[in-house]
Amino acid sequence: MEKYFTYIIQSLKDESFYIGYTSNLEKRINFHNSGLSKYTSGKIPWKLVYFEEFEKKSDAIKRERFLKKQRNTEFYNKLINGFIQK
């Protein structure tokens, strides 16, 4: 069964975050760091700082949308550091 991931990557250039979902986490991070994504290419390099695993694509997308709506660096840092439960 295919797994899906919602992930947060952080730019080592300016410490900004990017949130997305994928079925292949390693391939997706490499994609962001290769400069092939227009949105993330200007902030290379990226590091994976957080991810959650889902069995359904729809659940991963739902979680991605929730996280993007937060638009709050403090919230993301607390989540990444385990101070907020999933």
Six-digit token string for 67: 């996280």
Structural domains of the chain sorted by starting position, each given as residue range(s) with its CATH number in brackets: 4-80 (3.40.1440.10)
Q: What pLDDT, on the 0 to 100 scale, is given for residue 10?
A: 97
Cα separation of 48 and 71, whole Å? Answer: 18
Q: What is the pTM of this model?
A: 0.93
C-beta atoms surrounding 44 within 10 Å: 14
**What is the mean pLDDT of each successive set of 10 residues along the chain, which is 86 residues long?**
96 96 97 93 97 98 97 93 80
Angle in degrees, CA 55, 19, 49, rounded to 5: 85
Phi-psi region of 35 (alpha: psi -120 to 50; beta: other; left: phi over 0): left
Cα separation of 9 and 67, whole Å? Answer: 12
